[in-house]
Structure formats: C-alpha cells, structure tokens
Chain A
Amino acid sequence: MPIKGLKRKFGIQKILSEGDLEAIHRGTLRVLAETGVAVNHEKALKLYADAGCLVDFSTNRVRFPQWLVEQALAQCPSIYRVKARNPENDMILSGEGDVTYFSPSCGMNTLDLDTWTPKVPTRKEYYDFIKVCDALPHVHMQACFPYYGFARLPQAMSLIESCAGKIRYSDKVQMEGWVLDNYRWNIEMCKATGQDIFCLGNPGAPLTYSKEQIDNLIYTVESDMVLHFASGVVSGATGPSTLAGSIIADNANAIPGMVLAQLIRPGARIWLGNMMFVQNMATGSPAFGAIENSLLVAGYNQLLRKYRIPNWSITSGFVSSKTIDYQAGYETALAALIAVNSGSSMVFLQGGLTAQLTAHPVKAIMDDDIAGMVKRYLEGIEVTDETLAVDLINEVGPIPGHFLNRAHTRTWWKKEQFLPGVADRLSYAEWVEKGQKNAIDHAKEKMEQILAVHKPNLLTPQQEQAVEDILKEARNYYRKNGMISDEEWKAYQEDLNSPQYPFA
C-alpha cells in the first residue's frame, strides 16, 4: 500500500555544521549527567537507579550516564508503523526525515468569522471540524483535539468526548489531547477500535517530570502506543534565550522520558517533539509565528536526524494572528516549509489561529493548500527524456509554434502543477466578473461543500458500543471522584439522552 505522506526528491536542509551539531549533543549529555532532571515518581526513580542512573531519592533528582543515553537512543526504532482504523491511512514514521505527514493544528475554541471573536463550539461545530479534516487530502492524522471539547460537556470529560468524536468521525490516525488521567480512556477506545494512538508525555520545562506525566508514560508504553515528548521550551523564560541553548534544554527535557520508555519496553515507539518558541519580551508570552521558532525546529530536526528518531514539529501550528489574514498566512506557510525542508516527520499545520486559542475549519481548508504546495515543492523536478522534452521543443520551433495544443502538454501539465483548492488565481477581469471572491470566500464555500457531501467512515455498531461502554466507565469514574459537578452532570445527561446523540 503506498505511503500517503510527502516524499522528498532532494536532500534535507542542514543548518548546523557537524561540529555545531556535536556540540549541542554533547551539551545535552553534560546537562543530563551534571544536573539531570527532577522526576517526581517513585517507581520511575527505581527504574532509573536499577538501570545505572545516579538517583538522589531525597530530591527526586536523576542524573544520566552518557552510555545509558546513547543506548536508549539506539533502542528507539528509527522506522515504525502507526495503525489507523482504516489501514489505507496508516502512517510509516521514519527517523531519516524522508517522509513527512501533516496534522491539523488545534484551538481551545472556534471563532466567529465576522467579528473574530472566540466562542465555545457546539457539538455540531465540533463534529463539522473533524469531518472537514477527515475530507482534506493533506491531513494525515487527526490533531490532539480540533477544539477543547464542545459546549455543555463536563470539563473532566472534554478531551475524552473529544477523542471519541474523532474516533467516530474519522478513520485517520489518532492523537490524544492529554489532561488529568484521560489517556487511559483514550487508549482503551483506540484499542477497542483496532488502532494506535499518539499519546503526549510532555515534561515540564526546565528539567521536570511530574507524577501524572510519568503515570501517563508508563500506561502508554505498557499499552504499546506511541509516545511523544515535547516540553515547550520558551527561549529566555523556560530555556536560555540563545537558540543553541534552547535546543539543548528541550533535548535534555525530552531524553529522560525517552530513556524511561526504553527501560520499560525496549524498542517502544517514540517520537520527539519540537515545541520551542522565543519569548515575546514585550508581553511575556511566546512569540508565536516568529522566524526564530523555525530556526529552532530546523536545528532540532537536524539533531533528531542524527539520532534517527521521528519527530513532530508542533511550532508550525502556532500563529500569533487573531484573524485569517496576511500575517496568519505567512506565519503558517513559512513555518511549514522550513519544518518540512529540515526533515520533520510530522508537521502540525491546518486550522489554528491565535496561538491555538482558536481554530477554524475555513483556515484548515486554506492551510491544506499550503500543505499541497509544500508537497509539490518536495516532489522536485523530474528529469527524464520525456520531461526534458528536447524533441518536442525542436518540433514546435519558433513562433507561431506553441505548446498549448500538444499531447505532451495535456499529459504533463497536471502532473507538474499542483492546483490549489481555494487560492484565487483568476485574471483581474474574471475576478471582477465572478464576484471579487478571495481565498477565504472560496474556503467558506468549500467548507459548505465538504459538509454537504463528505461521508465519514463510521464505526461498526459493535465498535460504537465498545466506545460508548468506555465513555460510560469514564463518566462514572469522574462523577464518583467528584470531578463532574451536579450542574455539569445535568446538562450532560440531557445531551446524552438526546435522540441525535452521539452526533449533533
């Protein structure tokens, strides 16, 4: 079965010299050996100590010998399959950077496209977003969440219901959004529907793993699911303000989790994350969309190519812009292109705005054109006797000869050109004649069209029942633990008993 991801025809761009790359690697080893990380989890501390780490049980500090880090890096598979419910959508992740996939970015909320005001999505808006992502050709994996749940859900159930929604409405590869101990239910729903799920074991920066993070890590690895670490270093805040120092900090945050995963299950499927930002020193928040974030992506990608570990470029999915505008476009496009050019295995891309406080399917549709253009770029220039077309050029000769009426043109132009789905490419006169529509107008129309015609591959009745049983268990668990209030429970029950449930 052919791989659906993007395959490159030319080399990966390297932005660091071999010496600089080695210096970053060695810097990481020194941090891990000299300072180590705080791991607030008793069982993990024992596992680290048994494996040869220096563990101070009074401060929960773990220091790593170089050989153990190198050994664990070598144990990470450099190529592996991630199963989707539909085998045609399986992903083959490679540490060589030779295949790239895209996933939607996400937002806490949706937004009003006239006023650009964030708003909590309805159940229907939530399912519509998944449906659009299911239909878009360059979405290879469903995001950790398109929105953080939807209206009238209890907080504790938000990302579990969110995960169930993605499982029900899309047969592409799944990724969970992690909060509390929700990974348990997410993993079980994926197991019950015969697929893998990417789980997040994100450490805290700098150099800290909480008990909950380690619980998640252990459960995920023992369930044989794919685990991801991205600490979210912010240069100048949770990491040094220098880019090289930030890469070391991010790497030193991620490696202890990776080592623990390999200690529990040698060969555990790991991918490391790339979620670094420079700090916006005027506001105190990360400077989303900054070009330096892309330098961090490119630099860390190069290090992960050396380790031969697949990676996820998350940074590209974050833009500062609050509206679908020029800034949103360049922030998204530049980040995506640089990520792919420097060998990302997965690029977080379609849909997000306002640093993931909001997202919208219309933006996702426009971003899918960026993905298509990047894909075309990676495919490069095909050089064969036929594409060189020397005989044809000779045959056509000078003016009035031209190529428009040639069979060669009809055969090749569509292979050579990517046709964007929503970009406006009309002549000025045609544009006026057709109502002066821009890419956003086209994307809105395309969204309506997708929602009208796209039919997701739904679960079988047995799978649906299995998902529902797991959801029921989760509901009872959080209700019993007092994490769902009476008020939340009442609204939730009303929706669960609606004749439209589980859909809108």
Chain B
Amino acid sequence: MANNILENLKKAVVEFNLEGAADLARQAMEEKVDPLEALNALTAGIREVGDGYGRGDYFLPELVGAADAMQAAVPIIEEEIKKSGSVKQSIGKVVIGTVSGDIHTIGKGMVTSLLIARGFEVHDIGIDVPTEKFIESVEQLEPQILAMSALLSMTAPETKKVIDSLTEAGLRDKVKVMIGGGAITEDYAKAVGADGYSPTAPGAVNLAEKMLGIN
C-alpha cells in the first residue's frame, strides 16, 4: 500500500499533476507513510524530469510543471516531518529571489526547478524582493546559498545592496551568494562581491554544487 502511494507520488510529479500530488501527499500522511520516504518519492519524480530536460527530452514547461507539482506536495509532507521531529535530507538549502524593482520570474523559475531536481531544498521568496526580505530570509531559513536574479541593468545594482546589507548584518560569512540573469556578467558578479555567477540555469546548479563541495 505504502509503496503504491510512493509510486503514485512520483508519478504525479512526472505527470505534472499539481492537485494529484497534493491529494496523494495528504493521503500518504493520513496513512502514516514515512514522510521522508514520501519526500524521496517526489524527488525521484522531479529528478526523472530534470534528467529528461538535460537530455533534451523535456523542455521548460515540463520542468516547471514537475517542480510545481512537487512544490504543491512538499508543504504537506514538511508539516509532518516537523511534527515527528525527523530531519529532512537535502544536499543543501537555497534561498532564491528576483531583486527589488525586477519582476522577471521565468529564469528564476528555471534555476529553482533544476535545483529542486538535483536535490536541493529551495525557498523561492518571489520577485521584486526588497533587500530587507532577503536579509530576513537568510536569518530565519539559514540557507547555505543565497541566489539572486536580476534581468535589467537598472536592477542589477540591487544585488550589491543585498550583499552589503548581509555584511552589515554580520551574515556575509554564513552564506554563499550567487547571482545571475540577463544583466549580470562574471566581472560584474566579482565587482559586487558575489561568490559566484552562472550565465545559464544548468550552470547555476553546477555552481551551487561546487560552492557546497558536492561532486
């Protein structure tokens, strides 16, 4: 029975079924399925789609659809994990957002989906995110990586503001900062004091792994 539910959870992700994934997650928790195993099933699904994207069998709509299905189920399972006091396994925690004044969401969505597919725990704090919210999220969620997206040359300097504020708040050495988006270059990332930059979404995942010493 439990195996069947786990298989269906994975299937819901692979089939981009948001409602199905959430319903199955609730059912699994009611039936006392191990929440960590439920989470692993979801991860297996998103990894399958992520691998397909890497091979060129799947495209962005499928990748984002699978990530959305997973994200629909995750909060339900996480609640159970908190209650049980178990420790959730992930290869690293990332907070991601698009900087203040910038409402671009697709690139950030791609990076988020691919990070999730790779096994990261990702907290997407949205678009047009004010500096204070970035700082607050780093304080509360304690991620290893803060990822910022800026598509416009007008909004790129926001990344520097956030990095400077991290320093002021005494958080800079507790988190690696990666930035990306159309307006960012390697040189720019260095100049504003970021730890890393990637021009592509798959590159951002490699960078995150490198930052955390994962092979």
Contact = CB atoms under 8 A, between A and B. Distances in A.
A428 B59 CA distance: 18
A405 interface: yes
Contact of B64 (A399, A404, A429, A430): A404
Interface in A406-451: 406-407, 409-410, 413-414, 427-430, 433
Nearest to A404: B64
Given A399-B105, A400-B105, A407-B16, A427 B199 contact: yes
Contacts of A427: 199-200
20 contacts: A400-B103, A400-B126, A400-B127, A402-B106, A404-B64, A404-B106, A405-B64, A405-B68, A409-B61, A413-B59, A414-B59, A427-B200, A428-B199, A429-B199, A429-B203, A430-B199, A430-B200, A433-B199, A433-B200, A433-B203
A399 B59 contact: no
Contacts of B59: 413-414
Interface of A: 399-400, 402, 404-407, 409-410, 413-414, 427-430, 433
Interface of B: 16, 59-62, 64-65, 68, 103, 105-106, 109, 126-127, 199-200, 203
Nearest to A412: B61
Chain A residues touching B, majority SS: helix
B77 to A, nearest CB: 20
B1 to A, nearest CB: 29
Which one of A399, A404, A429, A430 has the greatest number of beta carbons of chain B within 10 Å? A404
A410 B16 contact: yes
Nearest to A410: B61
B127 A399 contact: yes
A287 B103 CA distance: 53
Contact of A405 (B61, B103, B127, B199): B61
Given A399-B105, A399-B127, A410-B16, A404 B203 contact: no
B6 to A, nearest CB: 24
A288 B60 CA distance: 42
Nearest to A429: B199
A428 B203 CA distance: 13
A430 B202 CA distance: 9
Contacts of B60: 404
Contacts of A428: 199
Contacts of A406: 61
Given A400-B103, A429-B200, A405 B126 contact: no
Nearest to A403: B61
B200 A404 contact: no
Contacts of B62: 410
Contacts of B61: 404-406, 409-410, 413
A363 B61 CA distance: 32
Nearest to A411: B61
A400 B128 CA distance: 10
Given A402-B109, A405-B64, A410-B16, 5 more contacts: A402-B105, A404-B61, A410-B65, A413-B59, A413-B61
Contact of A404 (B103, B109, B127, B199): B109
Contacts of A429: 199-200, 203
A406 B103 CA distance: 19
A405 B200 contact: no
A402 B200 CA distance: 20
